[in-house]
Amino acid sequence: MFELSTDVTNLKELKEQDFSAFDAIYLGDFSCPEYPNNFSSHADLLAKGVELVKSRGQKAYLRLYAVPSNHDLPWVADVIDTAMSLPFDGLEVHNLGLLRVLREKGCELPLHLGVFGNLYTHETAKVLKGYGVTRVYPNPELSLKEVAYIADNAPIEVLVPVHGKIPLVISETCFIMEHCDASEKPDDGSCNYACTKDHWLKRGRNDGSDADWSLKDTGRMTLSGKDLCMVEHAETLVGMGFTAFYVQNRGEAPGYAGQVGRIYRPVLERAFAGQAAADVVPDLTTLAELAQEGLCNGYYFEGAGQRYFGRA
């Protein structure tokens, strides 16, 4: 009927948190290879990760590092080789270089284009289909109408984020490490994992007015400050023909994805069953409590990414 997915960075998070509301798990943080025991950069952990996901009756996808430099390609290739020997249901890639590597390796696994593949048009989706891509994550700046146009005019599945912060910028260097106090940096120049704490970029009067804005930084990736929320618009999404939905979990507190998933699963089930929408006020209250900077609808309704539109 539909697939609801989220992401998990490492084995510890996968073991300790509740992801039972989800049909599929994207393993790994594609933004930073140095994050502790990151599935995306630790080939030796992939077998345990995919085994655990499969034991729970879920699909397992692996996220490959999004912005590899030439010196990263050897270890990324090792991760790919290991993943191809395991029962993954797909690999997520963000750039054409790795798509070519996967093709040259004869990879037969379904391939997904990630958010930083910057897909804007159905014509690009058609080209990617020829390289084995079966699912795309359109650029977050697109409206729902534009996303639906891609889905309707390209022979490819579209992943639709329904909740969580919006990935905006990625870099091969760490913003947090570059701006740490000298006393906080290890003498050997290694990572101090400061990204495990919250880091916010804010500007404005801090009075709740339109002059205020905030972004969340996770080191190599910057996210929106507000949480995308589409819980009131499930019927609209189903009516547009979407079937693959995603909750963004990177940089969130333990338990975030589990709580959000338990809210969205019954909402989507009702929408696909053609049942009238239930009262979502309690759900919105919970979701608002989880969102430190508030809720928004991203760019889905042709806004600037900050506003929230209710069902009415």
Task: Give CA separation, 38 vs 26, 29, 49, 89, in Å.
Answer: 12, 6, 11, 19
pLDDT in tens, 224-234: 999 999 999 99
User: Looking at the domain assignment, is residue 304 inside a domain?
Assistant: no
Identity of residue 189: G
Judged against a pLDDT cut of 50, whether residue 293 lies above it is answered with yes
Identity of residue 164: G
Pick 203 or 206 by higher pLDDT: 203
User: Looking at the domain assignment, is residue 198 inside a domain?
Assistant: no
Task: Give CA separation, 281 vs 39, 257, 263, 278, in Å.
Answer: 37, 19, 11, 9
User: Looking at the domain assignment, is residue 184 inside a domain?
Assistant: no
pLDDT at 176: 67
Tell me the pTM.
0.94
Structural domain count of the chain: 1
User: Looking at the domain assignment, is residue 193 inside a domain?
Assistant: no
The rounded distance, in Å, linking the Cα atoms of 60 and 132 is 18
CATH code assigned at 50: 3.20.20.110
pLDDT at 307: 86
pLDDT at 212: 72
User: Looking at the domain assignment, is residue 81 inside a domain?
Assistant: yes
The rounded distance, in Å, linking the Cα atoms of 162 and 165 is 10
* Domain span holding position 80: 3-165+227-296
User: Looking at the domain assignment, is residue 285 inside a domain?
Assistant: yes
pLDDT at 238: 97
Do the strands 213-217 and 157-170 form a parallel or antiparallel pair, or are they unpaired?
unpaired
Task: Give CA separation, 29 vs 10, 52, 124, 179, in Å.
Answer: 8, 18, 25, 22
- At how many degrees (to 10) do helices 73-84 and 96-104 cross? 50
pLDDT at 139: 97
User: Looking at the domain assignment, is residue 284 inside a domain?
Assistant: yes
User: Looking at the domain assignment, is residue 288 inside a domain?
Assistant: yes
Judged against a pLDDT cut of 80, whether residue 190 lies above it is answered with no
Beta-carbon contacts of 172 under 8 Å, excluding residues fewer than 6 positions away, are: 67, 69, 220
